[in-house]
Structure 1
Amino acid sequence: MKKFLFLFIAALSLTACDVDDDGPGTVQVLAEVVDTTLPEFFEKDKLYDIKITYLLPDACHTGIGVQAMREGSGEAERRKIYVGGVASRPANQTTCNLEEDDLEVEGSFSMRVDSDQPYTFYLWTGVDVDGESVYDEVVVPVGEEEPATPQE
């Protein structure tokens, strides 16, 4: 998981910059996932649009998207998906005087279910006191909807 965190942070460190500027133009940070539209189950070989809601750190940040990455390329690792919101702010901004009541942003990503085994989603919720990432874990089985049982 530390390897994933390193790759995730490395991907976020790519920032836009001005040719005449020696530093980055924006700073990107992970944003807490607060809601998702994961289904109760997946059907194999279907494409799903997964919507998430994430929370901006403050009103000076702007939501720029969703980062969803598989743990690896092996069959079991492909079914472990790490998800976080991504927010940015100007790099030279040291204080934030803006206030906003609604800091929730919606985003989405698409994925094709290519296995008949359950998928595990790790929804980024922040860091603990040791600076380690904390995730909410959601397991979504793959199968078919069970037929409704008639009431007697």
Structure 2
Amino acid sequence: MKRLILLFVSALVLVSCDTDDGPNIAYDIALISDADLPEYFDKDETYDINVDYALKSACHTFVGFDGNQGKSEENDSIFEYNITVISSYDPALTECTIESESLSRSSQLFKDFQVKSEDYTTYRFNLLSGFDSDDKPEYITIDVPVGEPEPETPEENTNV
């Protein structure tokens, strides 16, 4: 009886070790080409912020955003967001047979983004857009001031 139980358990272990559980998933970076940001943020207003990016192939799919945020090390009146787009694909596929008219996509980075604090005068968005020849990341940096900026050149006073 003990041998029968040992044989049954051994067979169960061998069958459960099957490694073909379906497609594998690997993650990759999709490069950002643009972002839909306002000229400035009004305090307590809400904004939907979208990001445009390009997938590496039609076999890649959007997973989400990754990054970090915090006060700028260079200027404590700037709050920074460092954003990367993550995609996934099946590395077992040797050729991508899925066709797509365009690999460009857009996804919502923030829904109802709101500036609530007066601690920062600028919100900086560093969006991963590529890598240089030394494989160092390159970013599209967009600074959005809080409050309508003053005109660069003073308007003439017409009330003489």
TM-score (norm 1): 0.68
What CA distance in whole angstroms lies between the structure 2 residues aligned with 1:71 and 1:108?
20
Residue identity opposite 1:54 in structure 2 = Y
Q: Post-superposition shift, 1:20?
A: 6.2
Counterparts of residues 14-53 of structure 1 (less than 5 Å): 21=19, 25-53=24-52
Distance in 2, Cα, partners of 1:20 & 1:46 = 54
Match of 1:15 in 2: none
Cα drift, residue 91 of structure 1: 3.2
Amino acid at match of 1:101: E
Deviation at 1:135, TM superposition (A): 0.4
Matches within 5 A, 1:50-89: 50-71=49-70, 76=76, 79-89=79-89
Distance in 2 (alpha carbons) for counterparts of 1:71 and 1:119: 10
Corresponding pairs, count: 131
Q: Which residue of 2 aligns with 1:10?
A: none
What SS is found at the alignment partner of 1:79?
Answer: strand
Q: Distance in 2 between matches of 1:102 and 1:68?
A: 26
Displacement of 1:55: 0.6
Post-superposition shift, 1:105? 1.6
Distance 1:68 1:38, change over 3 A: farther
Instruction: Tell me if the contact between 2:66 and 2:85 (Cα under 8 Å) persists in the aligned partners.
Output: yes
Post-superposition Cα deviations, 1:82-104, rounded to whole Å, max 9, x if no partner, equal 12222110132233233422111
Tell me how far apart the structure 2 counterparts of residues 104 and 58 of structure 1 sit (CA, whole Å): 10
What residue ranges of structure 1 are gaps of 5+ in the alignment?
A: 1-18
Deviations, residues 61-85 of structure 1 (Å, cap 9, x unaligned): 1122333531469894971111222
- TM-score normalised by length of structure 2: 0.65
**Cα deviations by residue, 1:23-81 (Å, 9 ceiling, x for unpaired):** 99311111111221100001223333211111101111112233353146989497111
Query: What is the Cα-based RMSD across aligned positions, in Å?
Result: 3.4
Unaligned runs of 5+ in 2: 1-16
